[in-house]
Every structure is written in structure tokens, then in C-alpha cells.
Amino acid sequence: MVREKMNNGIKVAIWIFGILAFLDMLTAYINSKYIILLEMNPLYLVFKSLLPIVILNIALGFFLYYIYKRRTINYRFFVMNVVCWQAVARIYAIYHAINIMILQPEVTQIIETSAETKATTYSFVILFIMIIPFIVTQTAFWLFKKDHLILKR
């Protein structure tokens, strides 16, 4: 008897989402003396706290799971795509946070980095690492669906 494995993808995705969110927050906490100078997240810049980011991550996790449970292939693919690109962005952030921990730059070096440079870097990350690949992937899936009949299990 073959037992179908349903919802394993979302379970793995939730674990990855949770672990990377935790590591992202942990590295931000470890680098707390630099965070006010380095953080580029607009929520942090407005509230000067990581709490809104934590709350947003928890809400996003629940929202994505809710959408996933709608049980249509479109929603499920969308959720998996969001989680995968979120993971890429988090890995990028964690990588840079670890570099800061290793290099231990002087505060004066960080201050010399202009707000314009930070904004450009953040825009690059959002646009080229997250949004453009996300749109390409969603478009590829839409085209795939035009050629294939997709049925529920």
C-alpha cells in the first residue's frame, strides 16, 4: 500500500521559515550595537524596535498557512514561492549579519556609510533578490498552467 504524503512541503517550508526568522532575529540581537546604524528594514526605521518585525513575521506565517489551506494549486504554489524567496532574503540578511559579527567594524566606519548607500542596497535586495525572481516564477507557473491540466489529489 502506497501512502500519499500530503502537506509535507508546507511543513518543511514552515520549519525553514521559522528557523530562518529565528536566526535573522538572533543575529540582529547579537549585532544590537550596530543595528541602529545598519538596519534597513522600513519597519525598524519607523519604530526603532525589532518587535514590529517579529509581530509581522508571526502574522505573515499564519497568513501564509491560512492561504495554503485554501487547497487550490494556485494558492499553494503562491505560498511556496513566497516562502522560498523569503528564505533567500533571510539568508542574505543572516550572511551579512554574520560578516558584521566576524569583522567587528568600528562605529565610525558604519556611520560613514551614507543613508543613500543603505537605501540603494535595500532597494537592490528587495527588487533583484525578491520581487523580480518572484514575478518570473509566478509568470512561469501561470504559463505552465496554460499547457497542463492540474487536478487536486
pLDDT in tens, 12-70: 887 888 899 899 889 988 888 877 777 777 788 788 888 898 898 889 888 888 887 77
Q: How many CB atoms lie within 10 A of CB 50?
A: 19
Rounded mean pLDDT, 98-108: 82
Residue 1: band (very low, low, confident or very high) from pLDDT cuts 50, 70, 90: very low
Residue 2: band (very low, low, confident or very high) from pLDDT cuts 50, 70, 90: very low
Q: Which has the closest alpha carbon to 27: 102, 113, 88? A: 102
- This prediction has a pTM of 0.72
Q: For residue 113, what pLDDT is reported?
A: 65
Q: How far apart are CA 77 and CA 87, in angstroms?
A: 15
Question: How do residues 118-141 score in pLDDT, each as one tens digit?
Answer: 667 767 777 777 788 888 888 888
Q: For residue 152, what pLDDT is reported?
A: 61
Identity (one letter) of the amino acid at 34? Y
Q: Which has the closest alpha carbon to 91: 130, 46, 131, 132? A: 130
In the structure grid, which three cell numbers stand for residue 19, read together?
A: 528557523
CB 125 within 8 A of CB 41: no
